[in-house]
Structure 1
Amino acid sequence: MKTSLRFAALMLLVLPGAVMANEKLVQDKQCMGCHALKEDGAAPSFQKIAKFWKGKGNAEVAMVATIRKGSAATGGPHWNKATMPDQSERPLVSEAEARQIAKWILKQ
């Protein structure tokens, strides 16, 4: 019992840091220039994206491709006329970073 309580307490300390790290990554990669958490702007909100992809088995794979290569790489534009630029117009995003961002978005 003590071990599980310690683990739970540790997770309460670690998880907020992981969320903040993901938010910092999203900011560092300039995602927030077009996206916001709750409100649509130049691009759909992260909550809208999460809702769209909820329950779809290919969500993470498709999102990683779009995050790394832009809308054109995955048959975009996906949201009206807006297109996500490729990495020639924004900071480079590694495969691991894109996967981390996609997982964070899907939890919104």
Structure 2
Amino acid sequence: MKIALILSVAIASSLPAVAMANEKLAQDKQCFGCHTTKPDGAAPSFQKISQHWKGNKDAEAKLVAIIRQGSAATAGPHWNKATMPDQAERPLVSEAEARQIAKWVLGQ
């Protein structure tokens, strides 16, 4: 019982650090150039994106593709007329990095 409690506390206390690291990764990959966490900017907020994908079992995989390929992953604009640039116009994002960012976005 004590071990389970200790593990629960350890895991819970590490979650904010992981979230901060993933937010930093999103900053490093220039996601914040167009997106913000809550209000919409030049692009939809991460919170709005999270709400849009809520309940979709393929959300993480689709976001990973969009993060890596931009609007080309969805064959064109996916939020009104705005297009998300591909990796020719911004820093390269690996599959693993895109997965981290997608999980962070979905947790907003």
* Range into which the TM-score falls when normalised by the shorter chain: over 0.9
What is the root-mean-square deviation in Å for CA atoms of aligned residues? 1.0
Using the TM superposition, give the Cα deviation of residue 57 of structure 1 relative to its aligned residue in structure 2, in angstroms. 1.7
Q: Which residue of 2 aligns with 1:68?
A: 68
Letter of the structure 1 residue corresponding to residue 34 of structure 2: C
Using the TM superposition, give the Cα deviation of residue 13 of structure 1 relative to its aligned residue in structure 2, in angstroms. 2.5
TM-score w.r.t. length of structure 1: 0.95
The 1-side partners of 2:45 and 2:2 are apart by 41
Letter of the structure 2 residue corresponding to residue 17 of structure 1: A
Q: Which residue of 2 aligns with 1:94?
A: 94
1:49-101 CA-partner distances (Å, limit 9, x unpaired): 01111111221111111100110222220111111000011010000110111
Q: After the TM superposition, which parts of structure 1 deviate over 2 Å for at least 4 consecutive aligned residues?
A: none
Using the TM superposition, give the Cα deviation of residue 15 of structure 1 relative to its aligned residue in structure 2, in angstroms. 1.1
- What is the count of residue pairs matched by the alignment? 108
TM-score w.r.t. length of structure 2: 0.95
Q: Which residue of 2 aligns with 1:16?
A: 16
Do residues 5 (structure 1) and 5 (structure 2) align?
Answer: yes
Do residues 78 (structure 1) and 78 (structure 2) align?
Answer: yes
Using the TM superposition, give the Cα deviation of residue 33 of structure 1 relative to its aligned residue in structure 2, in angstroms. 0.6
Percent of aligned pairs with the same residue? 69
1:11-43 CA-partner distances (Å, limit 9, x unpaired): 133111101111110101010010000011110
Q: Secondary structure at the match of 1:47?
A: helix
